[in-house]
Structure formats: structure tokens, C-alpha cells
Amino acid sequence: MTSAAASVRPGAVVILAAGEGTRMRSNTPKVLHPLCGRTLLGHVIAAARALEPEHLVVVVGHARDAVVAHLTEIAPEAVTAHQTELLGTGNAVRRALEVVPDVVGTVVVLNGDVPLLTAETLTELVDTHHAAGNAATVLSAAVPDPTGLGRIVRDAGGGLAAIVEQRDATPDQRAIAEINSGMFAFDGALLRTALKRLTTDNAQGQEYLTDVVALLRGEGHPVDALPAPDYRETLGCNDRVELSRLRALLRDRLLERWMRAGTTVVDPATVWLDVDVQLGRDAVIHPNVQLHGATVIGDGAEVGPDSTLTDTVVGEMATVVRAQCDRAEIGPEATVGPFAFLRPGTVLGRKAKIGAYVEVKNSDIGEASKVPHLSYVGDATIGEHSNIGAASVFVNYDGVEKHRSTIGSHVRTGSDNMFVAPVTVGDGAYTAAGSVITEDVSPGALGVARSRQRNIEGWVERRRAGTPAAEAAARARAAADQATGLATGDDPADERSAGENE
């Protein structure tokens, strides 16, 4: 997101993620809950990476296997420190430093469940820490409700004196609105020695990382608290209500950025998007749209209302209305929907059209070709400027294997065709409505694959006598007979033509 790397690379960033997250009431570890395309932990790692640390250490404990497996996937450079017992944040950081014994320079400590922290703020924390030559710099925040959080206690001169946990705080201290975000920059060597001197002499009987601040200050080292520019960046996630609020905040932040870059978002409250989604200039996002993964919306394209796109590329000036698209490529000026389902491997050329109630999978549909109505196109290649008749099915599955069909360019297929794969329809060919195409149609040919129609005259009046249908038929026959009688009176030639038609 940012290119503003800190002026000094930290020796290590330590991310605390051993806690259980009981209040999530989940089988999934808290830090693995998803938020706009990344896990909570994934967001923290993304911010940490902007600092380009020499070591990235994640402290794992609860549901450790799941967290480690996730890290292997998203951050193979991370090393993990195992904290077998949750003995406090100070204990957790000590575990972390044990796995990187050679670390020198600055050590940054982050919480694995604080996903809105930006790389900019983190960079500012590290830069301020270095500029002041501090032993410890804590990121603080003035919050509307500090309940449960550690308070920033300042001395008469406004300097940081200590961090006091809610449970250990006096009534006066509890009235302080400036809190400890849990994020710090430390002088690594001083941190390492201070951690050895932590006690468990507090209300929770734990080793508090926060006590390091007062210890270092007591030894005469400079410490300070840097207030975050926006307290919301420091919000943690303890339950699913907080998770939903964080998601809305992140959504707002992402959409604001895209709107300022030139995208129209008609109703930001009903649009959800992942962090890696890209929106073009003059693109319009209508209400009730979800954009996931690596979805890219091109310049001037319109998406929505009511569409969900995952890892889908929408070309310039294309429109997508009430559609579900997964790993599809939609060409420039193409139109999709309403009520279309594009599955993986769908590639639509420029100005191609996928209309109402059409499903497409693993198919290439060339420039300006159309599948306008009620069809399934699976495993097909369709050339340019071709039209597929309404209610057609590419019969791609023989019960064991999938097969591919090819339709050329400038082809016109009739409505209600079955293309039984593998089959090829050549350039410029036509097919008749209602055909089951099992054999190739050569270029320019008309493929007809249906039985001839036969009418059994008078069948309804004979076999369904007394029904409203029979009565209607009788009336129609009487009217026709009368008309024919009048007509024959005028021109006996009509009798001959009627006979020829039999």
C-alpha cells in the first residue's frame, strides 16, 4: 500500500498471536478470521512488511498448527516462536527474541488482532522512535471508551511515565482516555535485558510487556508515547461484533481511496471489497456489489447492482448486471447479465454479450459474439461475431469425461440447440432451431438435426372429446370451414392449393 519505508530497518518485528480469542466463540483461531480478503494476522503482516524487517517473528500458542500452516502460505519468511503457556505479553516477547538471538537494532512489537494499523503509522512510529533516540516508543491512542485497556500515565512534563493495566489502575488512572495500543518500537538490546527483570506482581499474575516502559525509564532511558493519527487504526478484535465494525471501517477506507481516485460508488454502505481489488477511473459500482480477491474493474466499466465478482477482470466500458462471476475475464465493452453466472475459465472478447440466465464455464467467447438467453456454455470455443440461439446447451459431459466444442465465426445457431461435444460448427454456418448437433457442421452449411413435424388432424376432437380444448378446436374448425366456404365461393382455385398442401 505504501512505499514509505522507515528510514531504519528494524532488526525484528514481533507479532503476538498466541492468545485464544475466547470471545469469538469460534473453531477458527481469532487471528485467522478473514477481513476484506486477508486474515486479521495477514493484515498485520502486510503492515509489518512495509518496514522491511530483517526478521519477522510470530508468537503462536493457541491452535498453533492452524496458525503455522497459514503462515507457511502467506508469509513463508516468518519464523514462529512457540509460547506453550500464556504467561503474558512480556513472556511472549521473550519467547520471540529467543528464536532470533542475534537480532540487533530496533524491535517492533505488534498485536496479531489489530488489522487496521497502516504502514504509514507504523513507519511514523519507527521514525519517531529513532529520531528521538528512545529506548521504547509506544503507539498510544485517545479512544472514546478505554475500558479494559492499559492507560498511558504521563508525568508533569507530559512525558511517558508508565503504562498501567485497567485492573491495576487507580480510579484517577482509569479516567485517562489515552490508551496503550499494544504496539511498540524498542531498542532491542535494552528490551532483552529489561524482559529478564519482569515480575508477575500484578492483578493477573502475568509478565506484562508494558512494565518494560517503567523499567527503562527508571534506568534513565528516554521513553515516549506517540498518539496514533486515528484511534481506529489501533482497534483490536475481541468478538464478532467488533470484527464486523472493523470490516465496515476497512471497507470505508478502501472505498474512500477509490472514490478519490475517480471511481463512482453509488451506495458505499452496500459495497464490499477486498484489499487487493482495483477499481478504474470513471468506473461505476452500483449498490449491493461484492468484489473479492484480485478482481479488477476497468476504466468506465459498470458493475451491479447485485453482483458478486471473485478474481474477475472486467474490461474497460464493460457492464456486469446481477451476475456472479468467478475467475472470469470480461473483455472491454462486453455485457454480462442480468442473471448470469460466469465460472472459472470464462473469457469474453471485446463487445461479447452474455445475456439473461446464461451460465458459462471454461469457454472462450470471441469478439462481439453473443449468448443472449437461457443457455449453458461449458468447455467451448466460440469465434467472433457469432450468435448462439436462446436456450442452447453445450453438452460437454458424457458422464465420465468433459469434451470441448468449437463454434466458428459469424455462425448463427438456432434456438434450443444441443451441441454434443466434441463437435465443431464451421465459420459462417447456421443450425436449425431445436437441433441436437452431434456431427460437425461444415463452414457455410445449415445443420438440421431434428425429426420432421407431423400433424394428426382432428386428434383432439376424437380423443379428447368434451374437453375445453376439443370445444375450442370445434369452434375454430367451424369458423375455418365457414371462411373456406366463402372463399371457395369466390375462387375455386383455393381448393386445389389446399389439396397440394396435404
Among 80, 210, 312, 405, binds ligand UD1 (CB under 6 A): 210
Residue 273's DSSP bridge partners are: 291
d(CA 326, CA 343): 5
Residues paired with residue 289 on neighbouring β-strands, in sequence order: 271, 307
Closer to ligand UD1 by Cβ: residue 18 or 317: 18
**Applying CB under 6 A, does 326 fall inside the site for ligand UD1?**
no
Q: Is 123 in the site for ligand UD1 (CB under 6 A)?
A: no
Q: For residues 366 and 427, what is the distance between their CA atoms, to the nearest angstrom?
A: 13
Return the SS3 of 223: strand
**Min dist. Cβ of residue 238 to ligand UD1 (A):** 8
Q: 190: closest CA among 218, 164, 154, 160?
A: 218
Number of residues located near ligand UD1, criterion CB under 6 A: 27
Q: What grid cell was written down for 102?
A: 542475534
From 88-96, 240-248, 366-374, 380-388, give the range in contact with ligand UD1 by CB under 6 A: 88-96
Report how far Cα 281 is from the mean position of its chain's Cα atoms: 20
- Measured from the CB atom, the residue of 164 and 390 that comes closer to ligand UD1 is 164
Strand partners, 223: 136
Q: Are 242 and 40 in contact (CB under 8 A)?
A: no
* 106-111/178-187 β-pairing: antiparallel
User: Is the separation of the CB atoms in 70 and 39 below 8 Å?
Assistant: yes
Rule CB under 6 A: say whether 83 interacts with ligand UD1. Answer: yes
373 is catalytic: yes
Nearest approach, Cβ of residue 252 and ligand UD1 (Å): 22
Using CB positions, name the residue nearest to Ca ion.
236
Angle, alpha carbons 123-124-125 (nearest 5°): 90
Q: Which is nearer to ligand UD1, 85 or 401 (CB)?
A: 85
**Contact pattern from residue 100 through residue 119 relative to ligand UD1, giving x for each residue in contact according to CB under 6 A and a dash for the rest:** -----------xxx------
194's contact among ligand UD1, Ca ion, none, with CB below 5 to 8 A by partner kind, is none
- Applying CB under 6 A, does 149 fall inside the site for ligand UD1? yes
Residue 409 burial by Cβ neighbours in a 10 Å radius (0-12, 13-18, 19+): middle
Q: Does 18 bind ligand UD1 (CB under 6 A)?
A: yes
Contact indicator for 267, 287 with CB cutoff of 8 Å: yes
**Contact call for residue 88 and ligand UD1 (CB under 6 A):** yes
- Per the listing, cell 458493475 goes with 303
77 is written with which cell numbers? Answer: 519468511
Is residue 115 classed exposed, middle or buried when 0-12, 13-18 and 19+ CB atoms within 10 A define those classes?
buried
- Which residues in 449-488 contact ligand UD1 (CB under 6 A)? none
Q: Which residue type sits at 305?
A: P
Q: Contact 84/150 with Cβ under 8 angstroms?
A: no
CB of 97 to ligand UD1, least distance (A): 13
Among 12-20, 268-276, 381-389, 484-492, the segment contacting ligand UD1 (CB under 6 A): 12-20
Q: At closest approach, how far in Å is the CB of 40 from ligand UD1?
A: 9
First-to-final CA distance of the chain: 77
How far apart CA 214 and CA 164 sit, in angstroms, is 10
What is the nearest approach in angstroms of ligand UD1 to the Cβ of residue 77? Answer: 20
366 binds ligand UD1 (CB under 6 A): no
Tell me the closest approach of the beta carbon of residue 125 to ligand UD1, in angstroms.
15
- Selecting among 373, 385, 403, 410, the annotated active-site residue is 373
Stretch that binds Ca ion, among 132-140, 211-219, 236-244, 421-429 (CB under 5 A): 236-244
User: Residue 15 in contact with residue 138, Cβ under 8 Å?
Assistant: no
Window 164-183: residues binding ligand UD1 (CB under 6 A): 165, 179-182
Interacting span for ligand UD1 (CB under 6 A) from 36-44, 83-91, 311-319, 340-348: 83-91
Give the helix/strand (H/E) hosting 418: strand 418-420
Q: Does residue 213 bind ligand UD1 (CB under 6 A)?
A: no
**According to CB under 6 A, which residues from 224 to 253 bind ligand UD1?**
236
- Measured from the CB atom, the residue of 16 and 36 that comes closer to ligand UD1 is 16
In the complex, residue closest to ligand UD1 by CB: 150
List residues with catalytic annotation: 373
Interface positions with Ca ion (CB under 5 A)? 236
